Structure 1
Amino acid sequence: MNVSSTIAPGDASTLNERQRAIIPIAAFASAGRIGDLSEALNEGLDAGLTVNDAKEILVQLYAYAGFPRSLNALGELMKVLETRKARGIQDAGGSLPSHVAPTGDALLEAGTANQTRLSGGPVKGPLFEFAPAIDTYLKTHLFGDIFERDNLDWQSRELATIGMLSALPGLESQVQAHMRIGMNVGLSAQDLRDLTEVLADRVSAEAASRARNALEAQLASVAKQS
């Protein structure tokens, strides 16, 4: 459901067209809105996303919305690419990761370092002491296997993550956490406001509201600490 954006006529987004295209792709894939995803993928490829950019976004989806949504979204990407090829459109393949992710203890070490850098400090707490397996999975699978893949920059990954989480109800604390992470990797407050407007314009009022509330809570937290 599209709703009107509150960006005034003539206002310029600080996100470029490619970055803006990532947001609805991530949100529609997360919500399982396959018809809308197909349209968003076409728009994203037209806006400069490469095939591997789109693949990376939809593979990363598994960590936030589960393997079924990720697999369905990747299947839709295959269909979109086949249709575009039949129409004579040759989409750029894009880059592959420049190195192979480590394994074993080295992967845990790399993932822990990535998580610490993204979060702005070590991540620990009672939840991870209660269920240490989830801590290991986060560090090795998400921040290791996925975030070690350097063919999609971290700002793009965070735009995608916030889009994915905002599309789902009940994840307000995670959306706020990723607003903080987005700022840690160089997205400005205005970039993130633009993200909320893309959600409002392209996805739903509910998704936009979740993102907007999380951003305001994060900015208030930063102001309180300063």
Structure 2
Amino acid sequence: MTTPPFPTFAVAARSHHRMHGRLIHRATLRAAAAALLFGMALPLLAQHPAPAHTTDIHMNTQSALSARQQAILPIAAFTAAGDLHRLEPALRAALDAGLTINEIKEILGQLYAYAGFPRALNALGTFMTVVEDRKAQGVHDAQGKAPTALPAPDQMLAVGTANQTRLSGQPVAGPLFAFSPQIDRYLKEHLFGAIFARDNLDWGDRELATVAALSAMTGTESQVQAHMRISRNVALSEAQLEHVVAVLRDVVSAETADRADQARRHTLAN
């Protein structure tokens, strides 16, 4: 029996009830969190220019994810887990929920930085088949926006450094980058300066994909914690992050949801 693509509205209602009154002010990312995020050389998040909705995270009091946002979670989780059998219907559900073809390609392409090229390529191949099949059936899915012009190659390092600094709240340095300066440049120039400079998918959507993908993997607990914190920094409310856990539990697996929930609770406690 196929698992329903999204949880019922009752999940969102339960999330709202549990989280009501718990939205609190958090001024900045802590220095310790920045050390965890970047000192371990983790691919995180950057965008150029910053979308308007990322300017003040405390304005977001939404208690639930939209159907479109919910649809991001299983496709990211199944891609990271290499579960193509479950990915295929999740991709169809994502298109039905309003994600465009280009947005889904952005999500799957981004995940190579977390799950590796083989699983990202396999997921993209599965998606290509889904799109072609739906077109043959007369389903007209929206192509969606292409990214605007990227910075010139000789500007990528500067753009990536600025994005990384804006996200962490301070310039990023540490012994790991002194030990391996090439990984520092890869992060700044390629990930922050090229991949996340693509502006046809916003920061919140990229973080939803990242949290789901990392939660579907083992041995990435500290990274899920880091991305839960970053998710708050890119305009996802605490109630929405609880809803992330509920969606993962209903649609992906209890183990994936437990890893996400442990990370969420850790960020609330610190």
Q: TM-score, normalised by structure 2?
A: 0.77
**2:188 counterpart of 1:131:** no
Cα shift at 1:7 = 8.3
Which residue, 249, 254, 259 being the options, matches 1:205? Answer: 254
User: What's 1:175 paired with?
Assistant: 224
Is this contact kept in 1: 2:12–2:243, CA < 8 A? no
Is this contact kept in 1: 2:161–2:188, CA < 8 A? yes
| Paired letter, 1:109 | A
Which residue, 226, 236, 241 being the options, matches 1:187? Answer: 236
Which residue, 44, 48, 71 being the options, matches 2:98? Answer: 48
Tell me how far apart the structure 1 counterparts of residues 173 and 240 of structure 2 sit (CA, whole Å): 28
| Paired letter, 2:72 | I
Superimposed CA distance per residue, residues 54-111 of structure 1 (whole angstroms, 9 cap, x where no aligned partner): 000000011001111111000000000011011110100000111223313x111111
Matched residues, number:
219
Gaps in structure 1 of 5+ consecutive residues: 222-226
Bigger drift between 9-18 and 141-150 goes to 9-18
Which residue, 115, 135, 155 being the options, matches 2:204? Answer: 155
User: What's 1:220 paired with?
Assistant: 269
Which residue, 138, 151, 169 being the options, matches 1:101? Answer: 151
Tell me how far apart the structure 2 counterparts of residues 99 and 153 of structure 1 sit (CA, whole Å): 15
Tell me how far apart the structure 2 counterparts of residues 132 and 68 of structure 1 sit (CA, whole Å): 26
Tell me how far apart the structure 1 counterparts of residues 89 and 71 of structure 2 sit (CA, whole Å): 11
SS of the aligned residue for 1:77 comes to: helix
Change in Cα spacing, 1:101 to 1:211, as seen in structure 2 (3 Å) is: same
- What is the percentage of aligned positions where both structures have the same residue? 58
**In angstroms, what is the RMSD of aligned CA positions?**
2.0
Cα shift at 1:22 = 0.3
Change in Cα spacing, 1:121 to 1:184, as seen in structure 2 (3 Å) is: farther
Is this contact kept in 2: 1:120–1:184, CA < 8 A? no
Gaps in structure 2 of 5+ consecutive residues: 17-62
Is this contact kept in 2: 1:6–1:197, CA < 8 A? no
Q: TM-score, normalised by structure 1?
A: 0.91
Bigger drift between 118-127 and 193-202 goes to 118-127
User: What's 2:75 paired with?
Assistant: 25
Is this contact kept in 1: 2:147–2:199, CA < 8 A? yes
SS of the aligned residue for 1:97 comes to: coil
Cα shift at 1:10 = 7.0
Tell me how far apart the structure 1 counterparts of residues 90 and 182 of structure 2 sit (CA, whole Å): 35
Is this contact kept in 1: 2:111–2:213, CA < 8 A? yes
SS of the aligned residue for 1:100 comes to: coil
Tell me how far apart the structure 1 counterparts of residues 90 and 145 of structure 2 sit (CA, whole Å): 21
SS of the aligned residue for 2:241 comes to: helix
| Paired letter, 2:149 | H
Cα shift at 1:121 = 3.1
| Paired letter, 2:83 | R
| Paired letter, 1:176 | Q
Is this contact kept in 2: 1:17–1:47, CA < 8 A? yes
